[in-house]
Amino acid sequence: MPMQLIRSSDRGYADHGWLKSFHSFSFADYYDPARMGFGALRVINEDRIAPGTGFGTHGHRDMEIISYVLDGELAHKDSMGNGEQGAANSGVIRPGDVQRMSAGSGVQHSEFNHAKDRATHFLQIWIQPDAALRGIAPSYEQKHFDAASKRGQLRLVAARDGAGGAVTIHADARLYAGLFDGHEAAELGLAAGRIAYVHLVRGALKVNGQDLTAGDALQVRETSRLAFTAGQEAEVLVFDLAA
């Protein structure tokens, strides 16, 4: 099947009080053997963290973890020193920022919403690293991509080679972000042997003629071109992955 539509309502959901989370793929208590990932893409969690709460210190290894904030702020601290006073990286992520943490041989980190009256809304994304790059030293990177760079086009924000100023991930994957409204349109070519995962963050958008609304996704195979049209205050993420 060249394109498979996954509606927002088909995702897993967890309400922990302080955290409300939609799971695009199997995660924690949500398990669906048909939704274990897509290519190297393993997790997309749409999280809302209540004011004054967050994830306490916990560990990861051998995973490329990307955080993409939609609203509010996310404060990150880790065992590499990021987020500590005087550190090179403040660890605070805001809308437009893309944070990449390569867990590698192992890292401990925490994520908090320190605001007193505003929830933090963000996407937590996990991509499996290339087999040859497992066990590397953990590392961290954070960059800002302003709205103008994504307006009416797809901006590369994460890639294995850090092309075009994207954050560098240790996986054969490329992540694009785009903003589309009205007559704005763009296309993305896919090379032979590549697959794509399209996740609509918010708004409405047509992808190859398929109507998507916020939270919907498309799994794309055997397709050489993706066309993005008819956006209505749309924000979209597109993953170009090895088949």
Instruction: Identify the three-state secondary structure at position 211.
Output: strand
Is a pLDDT exceeding 90 seen at residue 90? no
Contacts of 172 (CB under 8 A, 6+ apart): 40, 130, 160, 241, 242
Strand partners, 37: none
Contacts of 35 (CB under 8 A, 6+ apart): 12, 24, 25, 26
The residue type found at 15 is: D
Instruction: Specify the pLDDT at position 185.
Output: 98
d(CA 52, CA 166): 31
Instruction: Specify the pLDDT at position 1.
Output: 76
pTM: 0.97
> pLDDT grade, residue 95 (50/70/90)?
very high
Is a pLDDT exceeding 90 seen at residue 66? yes
Percent of the chain with pLDDT over 90: 95
> pLDDT grade, residue 191 (50/70/90)?
very high
Taking only the tens place, the pLDDT of each residue in 12-27 is 999 999 999 999 999 9
Question: What CATH number does the domain located at 3-242 have?
Answer: 2.60.120.10
d(CA 65, CA 100): 6
Contacts of 116 (CB under 8 A, 6+ apart): 51, 52
d(CA 19, CA 32): 21
Instruction: Specify the pLDDT at position 85.
Output: 85
Q: Domain extents for the chain?
A: 3-242
The residue type found at 114 is: H
